[in-house]
Structure 1
Amino acid sequence: MDQLPSKEQIRQWITDNPGLASKRDIAKAFSIKGGPARIELKRLLKEMEQEGGIQKRKRQFREAGTLPPVSILRLLPPDAAGDLFARPNEWEGEDAPLIHVIARTGDPALGQGDRILARLEKVEGEAHAYEARLIRKLGTSAIRVLGIFRRSHEGGRILPIDKGADKEWRVPPGLTLEAEDGELVEAEQAGPKRLGLPSARIVARLGDPSGPKAVSLIAIHQHGIPDQFPEAVLAEADRAEPVTLGDREDLRHLDLVTIDPVDARDRDDAVLAIPDTDPGNAGGFHLWVAIADVAHYVTPGSALDREARKRGNSTYFPDRVVPMLPDVLSGDLCSLHEAVDRPCMAVCITIDAQGGKRGHRFTRGLMRSRGSLHYGQVQAAIDGAVEPKLEPLMDSVIRPLYAAYAALKHARAVRQPLELDLPERKIILSDEGKVLSVAFRERFDAHKLIEEAMVLANVCAAEELIRLKRPLLFRIHEEPSQEKLDALREVAEASGFTLAKGQVLKTAHLNRLLAQAEGTDQDELINITTLRSMTQAYYSPQNFGHFGLALRNYAHFTSPIRRYSDLIVHRALIAGHGWGADGLSAWDVENLDETAKLISDSERRSMAAERDTIDRYLASYLSDRVGQTFTGRVSGVQKFGLFVKLDETGADGLVPIREVGREFFFFDADSQTLTGADTGLTIGPGARVTVRLAEAVPVTGGLLLELIEIDGGALPAPKRGKAGQGRGPRKPARAAIAKRKVVRKRH
């Protein structure tokens, strides 16, 4: 044609041909040839772009406010009906269009946060603007960051709250979600990486970072822990009703009780010990362990089941719990509250006077707890301070339980599981979320009694399912690697102890090392180092044993309210005994490997979130004491500095290498020591130190310390000539390094 098309004609053609919208395609469509005409078309397209009528991206033009026919999308949580929706991964402006993702047979499973490449079709008259059909799954969502937003005239910046994060993120105008200056925000990477600061879009505003109880909220978002139940899940839980006896075994005549922490949020296990009247088992017991029957309410393939599998476990913080199941189940219908009928999965275990297991029997029953007790009051009762509530239970419940525990304790001593002694910290908060105190939890025989009963019940569950030849998830803990054992041996020898070498490692060998250190200054160090040498436990359909507990067959059975693994074991028992249609499904069996990985990963996610939360609360607690001195012990050594565990709170802080001393330090990775180039001072794990708190950052949980004294004495001054005076740490000449012999100090 002899003349250029009008702007309206170009706009209409781009709308009708979204996949062929480059400048070359437009020129071809309107028969524009020759240099001058193409230059004029380029000017016209530029003018339309500036007017906002069209947008250009990667050499393609499209109608303003629309998406290309093939786009990258970010999936949102399913709605109440279970339908999947998405937003475009990249969008300029505040109101990104909503996209309904139409699943087809054979498509892979998709969930919140996944990124997909999809073909789009615009729709009219719907709440969503587009329908999408999957081309391929690209993986999880873009890189996410949690931080403090600082507003500027060019949008703003995000200061990450992660320890060690040293780069800020730039937030362009239009991607700030109208966040306020100083607000805690969650953002994700926007666009490809380029030189300079990475670009981000804010996806959630989380409020004042110093506000009450913001600490656990930070961990929840930072680690991606789902804390909001979909409407479909809540609706399903609300429809649940109490269970009647039916075909269940009636256990309501048994004096079962629950014993939990005083602040327990759920009660999923009850116990009872009955002396065995069989003359052939003098001094033995029938030990009952009854567990909440979660499988009755959370059936395979239900909305509750899908959500519980995704969460994997409950996550516990000092100020809140993020439960695996909605509260109507976890806090009520599944919880074994006092004096109410509750469905249960129970095992009656016969033990002899030495705690050896003679047999067991599983059943699906209905129970009624005689008492919701806590560890402190039970221990006080056995020690002589009996509360009126416990007086009727002393002869029938409390004393027999402790007698059965004495037998189990004997069996434990023979088995020799790993005997680590690591005190647990407890953060005490005010109603406003302020840290009032940090203490170490008391540990009573009442705790150990319940632990031994639960371990034995878990063993019985594994053995029962092996006998029935039913698939299950084992709890696996493999023995430590040779490298980690060598590192533990180095620390032990540097502390004056020995760890057996050249034989098959057993927990008994590690217990002998722990016994050597007990009561010495190195006690805590050896316990922590031994713990760090262990592999992480995990779940698997294959059985590789449990090294730490010194058990060949072990599965989790006792906490289905807060662990999905236990629910799988319950279903396997139901299926194996034919106790109902809510047993392990064919889908459960087919996907056991994937389930094992999912819940192992979610367990580690929760542990990291809980640990980070404790660190932040401790930093908040100490933030008013910057400048004060504390005693502690070196818990780790790296070439960049020393990690110190403070005696008072158990908090961990870093002494940067620049604060260790005014000389160069050699780092020996094998012995985990730093040695001064001038003084020969050697610092290793376990050294007693006095430090000054230089900085405490609650939002990251970081503590920076300055070293003042080591092993009760001041740091020795380096010997230098005039050239070295007043210059701080310096690196020795290469020849001096080659000749130097690192001296390892025994503490």
Structure 2
Amino acid sequence: MADLPTKAQILDWIAENPGQTAKRDIARAFGVKGSARIDLKRMLRELEDDGHLDKRKGQYRDPEKLPPVTVCQIGAPDDDGDLTAKPLEWHGEGPEPRILMIPREGEPALGEGDRVLLRLREVSGEDHQYEGRLIRKIGTAPRTILGIYRAGAEGGRIVPIDKGADREWMVPPGNAGGAKDGELVEAEQAGPGARMGLPRARVVERLGDPSAPKSVSLIAIHQHGIPDVFPDAALAEADRMKPAGLKGREDLRHLPLVTIDPEDARDHDDAVYAHPDDAPDNPGGHVVWVAIADVAHYVRSGSALDREALTRGNSTYFPDRVVPMLPERLSGDLCSLHEGVPRACLAVRMRLAENGALVGSTFHRGLMRSAASLTYEQVQAAIDGQPGDKAGPLVEEVLKPLHAAYRAAAFAREKRQPLDLDLPERRIVLSEKGEVLSVAFRERLEAHRLIEEFMILANVCAGETLVKKNTPLLFRVHEEPDADKLDALRETAQASGLKLAKGQVLQTRHLNRLLNEAAGTDLAELVNMATLRAMQQAYYAPENYGHFGLALRTYAHFTSPIRRYADLVVHRALIRAHGWGDDGLTDGEIDRLESTAQAISQTERRSMLAERDTTDRYLAAYLSERVGQEFGGRVSGIARFGLFVKLDETGADGLVPIRALGNEYFHHDQDENTLMGADTGRVISLGQRVRVRLVEAVPVTGGLMLEPLEIAGEEVEGGAMPDGFRRGPRKARGKGKPPGKGGGGARPAQKGKAGKGAKPAGKAPAKGARKVTRRRK
């Protein structure tokens, strides 16, 4: 019988033969037989107790190494476009190893979140520890659920917090992750259900008390997958940063640039200054400076900070917190243009003619010092002749020239006729505990328009300069509405007694004419919302398709690199175009512009949804103490399961379920976007005035349930529609069942949401409820 191996020999064998690590494999390798196997088993147990080995499913392995065949999850592409993966199980003490995927021709395409079985090969001297080859694709990332955990006798269940969710999830015993009854949890799907058809889930994270005020934004962060914890590498990079000096920069500290922001602004990334243009070729003209924090100096391409900024794509703003694109060391310090502190910047000097037309512009990489940090209210008061202590000393030298330049720019804007929607912005005021104190609409001041106009001009100059210099960049694109959406808008205008001409090349001035006709009437909000629905969603692209809404041929985001990755790309492009240093746009970044544009367009939409959901939940919390009260509003959406009503006071949207409209059958005409009573022919359409009673407000979902009291001036009594309510044609009426060619009936209350692009109301249908036949984009 061979002698027993030493512990070192056993560890070496396991390291060199990761596929043969069962006890019998080790015994066979060293010729251990008979009773000596007991001693070998003891040695293996000692190695396990000492932490040198990890025993899983009868196999011994080094806990700091991965087995040769491992289940992994695909991550996002790295800066070179290569896919990486991470092991789903890692028991080592250090960070989980990085796996580089080695694709082979003919293999299925893999994407972030996919689960795969990989054969691994350990490597050294690289920035990854393993190379992985695909054995087979197991599936995509499991569905995640955010909800309230309810403990039961055997396991528990999760009640989703999504307003559109219509089923619960079963949590088998042992899968609760320590969650307590009533806690907010994040869970993932763990297989199909075995009891009453409920799907199974396992709790992966406990998030605490869902009723706590500060849980509102936390819910949105988890629900939408917004990264809110910076990797250690990114934080370390940021902490090592030092303020930029004057070397290689133009000294702009003599310019009395000022920042103008909301009172609750968390950062200051743009500053402005203006003075009369004394050049003889521009009589009555103006010079406007816009200086933007030089984020590119600190966030280099391919760095840990850059990778995390691209992953986030943008900052996300909630009433109680901000999830920044960059760590606080940069966003709130080195890249924030604090008053009286030298700060690195990229600045554009713009020359405007007396009529506001852009005469020319030049870009500068400099060092500036803000003369003052002002609020919109302070600037507006100074413009109106009532300057406070902060703005008073700046009125003559800074604020009056700024206002004069703005008036000229506003004249040019009026001539250009960008789309002028009137959509008030809500402002939610919270207490220190996170409770809603008030909900109001933000007042839009001339000072807001001043900054907005100068930022737009700076963005135009950035795009046009890079196009002239033939430097690749990311454009901000807003395409014109498609034909179907324009038809829907025309029908809304026609039903409102207004007109949007057909048979002409649509320009923003045509839409502004429609908006002006509706202004000051009860139809103003309806027409503004219908116009907004007709618009395409703006996005980023390396190709220039123009910006329809702003009526501009070339537009690029330049003014907010602290909170938008697209602006950082434009800054790097300007640095490259002007030869200002080695921190400009790289060739690799240029090759990836298309994928970058798609990624940050998606993160922008993600943030918009998270911010909207958070607002809904705060509004529901605010209104939860007013259940039973009556409110005025308008029909803002129509679906086969009911009406959505926008309340005048807060702008909150609530649902009037179809059952609350009475006992008759209602046909949903998807083409006209109306509900029509099958017995009475009464028609409910978008924009109609309503009076409702708040029946239920659920802060954890943001849902509001309403009861109709009055629609279009007619009372709704006892759950029945009034006889005097607007009628549709008799032909479409039936007895509790939808007509053969109807747009679908709606008797029972159903959960869900109105579809996107829902068509505004038109006139009552001539032949009852019609089936939608044309395709919507």
Q: TM-score range by the shorter chain?
A: 0.7 to 0.9
Q: Which residue in the other structure is 1:153 paired with?
A: 153
| 1:360-383 deviation digits (Å, cap 9, x = unpaired) | 000100000000001011001111
Q: Which residue in the other structure is 1:33 paired with?
A: none
Alpha carbons of 1:590 and 1:75: their partners in 2 closer, same or farther (altered >3 Å)? Answer: closer
How much does 1:605 deviate? 0.3
Q: Which residue in the other structure is 1:277 paired with?
A: 278
How much does 1:616 deviate? 0.4
Which amino acid in structure 1 is aligned with residue 412 of structure 2?
Answer: A
Instruction: State the TM-score, normalizing by the size of structure 2.
Output: 0.81
How much does 1:540 deviate? 0.4
1:103 aligns with 2:87: no
Q: Which residue in the other structure is 1:43 paired with?
A: none
User: In 2, Cα distance between the equivalents of 1:389 and 1:187?
Assistant: 51
Which amino acid in structure 1 is aligned with residue 154 of structure 2?
Answer: E
1:189 aligns with 2:211: no
User: In 1, Cα distance between the equivalents of 2:497 and 2:229?
Assistant: 52
Q: Which residue in the other structure is 2:72 paired with?
A: 73
How much does 1:657 deviate? 1.1
User: In 2, Cα distance between the equivalents of 1:360 and 1:163?
Assistant: 50
Counterpart of 1:247 in 2: which secondary structure?
Answer: coil
Runs of 5+ consecutive residues of structure 1 not aligned to the other structure: 1-15, 30-60, 124-130, 720-728
User: In 2, Cα distance between the equivalents of 1:105 and 1:632?
Assistant: 55
How much does 1:711 deviate? 2.0
Query: In 2, are the aligned partners of 1:291 and 1:558 still within 8 Å (CA)?
Result: yes
Q: Which residue in the other structure is 1:710 paired with?
A: 711
User: In 2, Cα distance between the equivalents of 1:170 and 1:65?
Assistant: 35
Matches within 5 A, 1:558-707: 558-707=559-708
How much does 1:581 deviate? 0.4
Alpha carbons of 1:378 and 1:736: their partners in 2 closer, same or farther (altered >3 Å)? Answer: closer
Q: Which residue in the other structure is 2:236 paired with?
A: 235
Q: Which residue in the other structure is 1:381 paired with?
A: 382
Query: In 2, are the aligned partners of 1:687 and 1:711 still within 8 Å (CA)?
Result: yes
Alpha carbons of 1:627 and 1:349: their partners in 2 closer, same or farther (altered >3 Å)? Answer: same
Choose 174-183 or 682-691, whichever is displaced more.
174-183
Query: In 1, are the aligned partners of 2:661 and 2:721 still within 8 Å (CA)?
Result: no
User: In 2, Cα distance between the equivalents of 1:515 and 1:424?
Assistant: 20
Q: Which residue in the other structure is 1:354 paired with?
A: 355
Matches within 5 A, 1:2-151: 62-63=57-58, 70-74=69-73, 86=86, 88=88, 100-104=96-100, 106=102, 115-119=115-119, 133-136=131-134, 141-151=141-151
How much does 1:184 deviate? 0.6
Runs of 5+ consecutive residues of structure 2 not aligned to the other structure: 1-15, 29-55, 78-82, 124-128, 724-733, 744-764, 771-777
How much does 1:508 deviate? 0.9
Alpha carbons of 1:679 and 1:656: their partners in 2 closer, same or farther (altered >3 Å)? Answer: same
Query: In 1, are the aligned partners of 2:427 and 2:442 still within 8 Å (CA)?
Result: yes
Counterpart of 1:411 in 2: which secondary structure?
Answer: helix
| 1:424-460 deviation digits (Å, cap 9, x = unpaired) | 0000101001111100001100000000000000000
Alpha carbons of 1:111 and 1:266: their partners in 2 closer, same or farther (altered >3 Å)? Answer: farther
Q: Which residue in the other structure is 1:173 paired with?
A: 173
Q: Which residue in the other structure is 1:723 paired with?
A: none
Q: Which residue in the other structure is 1:432 paired with?
A: 433
Choose 488-497 or 372-381, whichever is displaced more.
488-497
Query: In 2, are the aligned partners of 1:75 and 1:115 still within 8 Å (CA)?
Result: yes
Alpha carbons of 1:133 and 1:99: their partners in 2 closer, same or farther (altered >3 Å)? Answer: farther
How much does 1:678 deviate? 2.8
Q: Which residue in the other structure is 2:482 paired with?
A: 481
User: In 2, Cα distance between the equivalents of 1:525 and 1:553?
Assistant: 31
How much does 1:704 deviate? 1.1
Alpha carbons of 1:735 and 1:166: their partners in 2 closer, same or farther (altered >3 Å)? Answer: closer
Query: In 2, are the aligned partners of 1:574 and 1:584 still within 8 Å (CA)?
Result: yes
1:493 aligns with 2:491: no
Choose which of 710, 729, 736 in structure 2 pairs with 1:731.
736
Query: In 2, are the aligned partners of 1:185 and 1:205 still within 8 Å (CA)?
Result: yes
Query: In 1, are the aligned partners of 2:76 and 2:111 still within 8 Å (CA)?
Result: yes
Matches within 5 A, 1:364-513: 364-513=365-514
Counterpart of 2:281 in 1: which secondary structure?
Answer: helix
Query: In 2, are the aligned partners of 1:87 and 1:97 still within 8 Å (CA)?
Result: no
User: In 2, Cα distance between the equivalents of 1:239 and 1:256?
Assistant: 28
Q: Percentage identity across aligned positions?
A: 62
Query: In 1, are the aligned partners of 2:674 and 2:684 still within 8 Å (CA)?
Result: yes
How much does 1:341 deviate? 0.2
Query: In 2, are the aligned partners of 1:565 and 1:599 still within 8 Å (CA)?
Result: yes
User: In 2, Cα distance between the equivalents of 1:73 and 1:135?
Assistant: 11
Instruction: State the TM-score, normalizing by the size of structure 1.
Output: 0.84
Which amino acid in structure 2 is aligned with residue 229 of structure 1?
Answer: F
Counterpart of 1:154 in 2: which secondary structure?
Answer: coil
Counterpart of 1:692 in 2: which secondary structure?
Answer: strand
Query: In 1, are the aligned partners of 2:86 and 2:99 still within 8 Å (CA)?
Result: no
How much does 1:617 deviate? 0.3
Counterpart of 1:354 in 2: which secondary structure?
Answer: coil
User: In 2, Cα distance between the equivalents of 1:105 and 1:181?
Assistant: 42
Alpha carbons of 1:595 and 1:484: their partners in 2 closer, same or farther (altered >3 Å)? Answer: same
Q: Which residue in the other structure is 1:539 paired with?
A: 540
Counterpart of 1:610 in 2: which secondary structure?
Answer: helix
How much does 1:73 deviate? 2.6
Query: In 2, are the aligned partners of 1:477 and 1:536 still within 8 Å (CA)?
Result: yes
Counterpart of 1:190 in 2: which secondary structure?
Answer: strand
| 1:625-649 deviation digits (Å, cap 9, x = unpaired) | 1111111001111222111100010
Alpha carbons of 1:180 and 1:414: their partners in 2 closer, same or farther (altered >3 Å)? Answer: same
Q: Which residue in the other structure is 1:303 paired with?
A: 304
Counterpart of 1:618 in 2: which secondary structure?
Answer: helix
User: In 2, Cα distance between the equivalents of 1:17 and 1:241?
Assistant: 49
How much does 1:244 deviate? 1.0
Q: Which residue in the other structure is 1:552 paired with?
A: 553
Which amino acid in structure 1 is aligned with residue 295 of structure 2?
Answer: V
How much does 1:316 deviate? 0.2
Alpha carbons of 1:651 and 1:718: their partners in 2 closer, same or farther (altered >3 Å)? Answer: closer
Which amino acid in structure 1 is aligned with residue 99 of structure 2?
Answer: A
Which amino acid in structure 2 is aligned with residue 409 of structure 1?
Answer: A
User: In 2, Cα distance between the equivalents of 1:296 and 1:236?
Assistant: 13
User: In 1, Cα distance between the equivalents of 2:632 and 2:488?
Assistant: 26
Alpha carbons of 1:667 and 1:391: their partners in 2 closer, same or farther (altered >3 Å)? Answer: same
Query: In 2, are the aligned partners of 1:294 and 1:567 still within 8 Å (CA)?
Result: yes
User: In 1, Cα distance between the equivalents of 2:534 and 2:420?
Assistant: 14
How much does 1:624 deviate? 1.1
Alpha carbons of 1:557 and 1:717: their partners in 2 closer, same or farther (altered >3 Å)? Answer: closer
Q: Which residue in the other structure is 2:202 paired with?
A: 201
Counterpart of 2:263 in 1: which secondary structure?
Answer: coil
Which amino acid in structure 2 is aligned with residue 620 of structure 1?
Answer: A
Query: In 2, are the aligned partners of 1:115 and 1:139 still within 8 Å (CA)?
Result: yes
How much does 1:119 deviate? 3.0
Which amino acid in structure 2 is aligned with residue 179 of structure 1?
Answer: A
Which amino acid in structure 2 is aligned with residue 483 of structure 1?
Answer: D
Alpha carbons of 1:604 and 1:547: their partners in 2 closer, same or farther (altered >3 Å)? Answer: same
Q: Which residue in the other structure is 2:13 paired with?
A: none
How much does 1:65 deviate? 10
Matches within 5 A, 1:314-329: 314-329=315-330
Counterpart of 2:492 in 1: which secondary structure?
Answer: helix
How much does 1:63 deviate? 2.9
How much does 1:175 deviate? 2.1
| 1:247-287 deviation digits (Å, cap 9, x = unpaired) | 20100010100000000001010001110112332221011
User: In 1, Cα distance between the equivalents of 2:579 and 2:60?
Assistant: 58
How much does 1:493 deviate? 1.1
User: In 1, Cα distance between the equivalents of 2:17 and 2:575?
Assistant: 58
User: In 2, Cα distance between the equivalents of 1:154 and 1:75?
Assistant: 34
Query: In 2, are the aligned partners of 1:663 and 1:718 still within 8 Å (CA)?
Result: no
Counterpart of 1:654 in 2: which secondary structure?
Answer: strand
Alpha carbons of 1:175 and 1:134: their partners in 2 closer, same or farther (altered >3 Å)? Answer: farther
Which amino acid in structure 2 is aligned with residue 184 of structure 1?
Answer: L
How much does 1:101 deviate? 3.9
Query: In 1, are the aligned partners of 2:234 and 2:308 still within 8 Å (CA)?
Result: yes
User: In 2, Cα distance between the equivalents of 1:350 and 1:194?
Assistant: 71
Counterpart of 1:389 in 2: which secondary structure?
Answer: coil
Which amino acid in structure 1 is aligned with residue 640 of structure 2?
Answer: K
Query: In 2, are the aligned partners of 1:85 and 1:99 still within 8 Å (CA)?
Result: no
User: In 2, Cα distance between the equivalents of 1:370 and 1:287?
Assistant: 16
Query: In 2, are the aligned partners of 1:291 and 1:346 still within 8 Å (CA)?
Result: yes
Alpha carbons of 1:110 and 1:263: their partners in 2 closer, same or farther (altered >3 Å)? Answer: farther
